[in-house]
Structure 1
């Protein structure tokens, strides 16, 4: 099957194959959102170009999230809405941390990113399966949406 023609459920099912172990799942519930946030934080930390203007909201983080949001749109409009909300929270947190954090956001993001990935690989070692993104890099975007799918199921929201 073409990767482009996969349904959201097919993406989730394929991702779920290497996420069956309860410990690995728990690690993912904690670390995947942290990794997503740290990527936003690292992108937020890249110095802006002159053409980006004075607004703090036009920066590398917001621009880089646009293709990611398009990917979520291709999965489902409801997944897109949930990921827009989460991404928005990450962007606001990045902005606030830049203003009030005693250390640079890039440093916090880098440390958390490294720690989170160590735990992710520990989880996959426990699982006995390699991370899905080794097969397809798009699974790096599927992971957060997969978690959102569980939240939607619990809330009775179809995705």
Structure 2
């Protein structure tokens, strides 16, 4: 061993990558994981909070905040990228709610959620390995960061 100490995020990514070696599975994940992320945010967005000014979006904001804290603790640069992704998700939810209504947002989110998960499992069928989250639920949070890290590497950015 060369004495290099891996950060927790690097260990997570190494394990996650080990379950995602197949090129088709990786490509599916690059599309499906952000779709699932948005759909979860949108589904939480649709849960009403009566007696508040906002009425919607509060549960999504709380979930995004706690997930962001997890990412930021693992890697500040990656945390900032995930903050931008969460901001985009929240803005998209608000826009769709305003333009199409809450019911349509809910239906769209449910549809995207189901289709993206089906795609994930198809990818893992090609991979021949089970999804990482079946080993440890924390990998449900690692997936979006793994996709963001792929983007960072393409851009030549360090995370």
Q: CA deviation at 1:67?
A: 1.5
Q: Secondary structure at the match of 2:20?
A: coil
Q: Distance in 2 between matches of 1:47 and 1:55?
A: 9
Q: Distance in 1 between matches of 2:48 and 2:54?
A: 13
Q: CA deviation at 1:30?
A: 0.8
Q: Distance in 1 between matches of 2:78 and 2:91?
A: 20
- The equivalent residue for 2:10 is 9
Alignment of 1:4-153 (within 5 A): 7-50=8-51, 53-55=52-54, 59-101=58-100, 104-153=104-153
TM-score by length of 2: 0.90
Deviation by residue 1:49-106 (Cα, 9 ceiling, x = unmatched): 42xx314686110011121111101210111100000010000000000011265211
- The equivalent residue for 1:158 is 158
Q: Distance in 2 between matches of 1:26 and 1:152?
A: 16
Deviation by residue 1:103-132 (Cα, 9 ceiling, x = unmatched): 521111001100110110000010000000
Q: Which runs of 4+ in 1 moved over 3 A?
A: 55-58
TM-score by length of 1: 0.90
Number of aligned positions between the proteins: 153
